[in-house]
């Protein structure tokens, strides 16, 4: 079944200069291999379309079942130069929660936010 990433993982973004790091955390250990396989750096960058102008590097953090996407050119030139209302990009991590991910039916009961499942 295809679900939005928000049912499978949580996320947080942080800023340094013009680089945003958007980290994605599996809600359950069973989801982590699905994330690693399907949420590649290429797909991540493509999902953000023109909002990420530079290189996206994915760091896998197996000990906490997380991935850290380091996104260059994502903050409009840097916090103080940015013309975006969200200068720090603290809301940027929410966008990836709409990414569609394929999850086996057997894991349906482990999905988070069951009420929001369409």
Partner 1 sequence: MKSSIRIGSGAAWWGDRVEPAALNAEKGDLDYLCFETMAEATVSAAQVRARRDPSFPGYDTYLDDRMRAVLPACMKRGTKIITNQGWINPDAAAKRVVHWLNEFGFKGVKVASVNGSLITEHVLDLTDTILENGKPTSTLKSTLISAEAYLGAEPIVEALKAGAQIVITGRVADPSLFLAPMMYEFGWDPLDHAKLGQGNGIGHLMECGAQVTGGYFSDPGFKDVPQPWNFGFPIAEVTPDGTVVLTKVAGTGGAITARTVKEQMLYEVHDPANYLTPDVVVDFTTAKIEELGPDRVRVSNIGGKPRTPTFKVSMGCTEGFIGEDMFFYAGPGALRRAQLAKKVLEERFKIVKLEAEDIRIDYLGLNAIHGDATPAWAPEPYEVAVRVAARTKTREEAAKVGREVDGMAVSGIAHTGKRVPHQDRTREVIGVWSGLVDRTKVIPSVRYFES
Other C-beta atoms within 10 Å of 95: how many?
16
Judged by CB under 8 A, does residue 39 bind partner 1? no
CB of 31 to partner 1, least distance (A): 13
Contact range with partner 1 by CB under 8 A, out of 31-39, 79-87, 101-109: 79-87
Judged by CB under 8 A, does residue 19 bind partner 1? yes
The answer to whether 29 touches 36, Cβ cutoff 8 Å, is: no
Other C-beta atoms within 10 Å of 99: how many?
22
Would you call 30 exposed, middle or buried from its count of C-beta atoms within 10 A (0-12, 13-18, 19+)? middle
Judged by CB under 8 A, does residue 55 bind partner 1? no
Contacts with 1 (C-beta within 8 Å, 6 or more apart), sequence order: 102, 103, 104, 105, 108
> What residues between 86 and 105 interact with partner 1 by CB under 8 A?
86, 90-92, 94-95, 98
Judged by CB under 8 A, does residue 83 bind partner 1? yes
Residues in contact with partner 1 by CB under 8 A are: 6, 10, 12, 14-19, 21, 23, 25, 47-52, 59, 61-64, 66, 68, 70, 77-81, 83-86, 90-92, 94-95, 98, 112-113, 115-116
């Amino acid at each position: 079944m295809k679900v939005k990433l928000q049912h499978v993982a949580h996320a947080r973004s942080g800023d340094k200069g013009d680089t945003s790091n958007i980290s994605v955390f599996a809600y359950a250990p069973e989801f982590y291999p699905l994330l690693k396989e399907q949420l590649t750096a290429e797909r991540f960058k493509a999902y953000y379309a023109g909002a990420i102008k530079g290189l996206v590097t994915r760091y896998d953090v197996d000990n906490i079942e997380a991935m850290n996407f380091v996104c260059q050119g994502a903050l409009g030139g840097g916090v103080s130069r940015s013309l975006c209302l969200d200068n720090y990009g603290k809301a940027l991590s929410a966008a990836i929660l709409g990414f569609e991910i394929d999850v086996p039916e057997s894991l349906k009961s482990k999905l988070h936010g069951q009420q929001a499942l369409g």
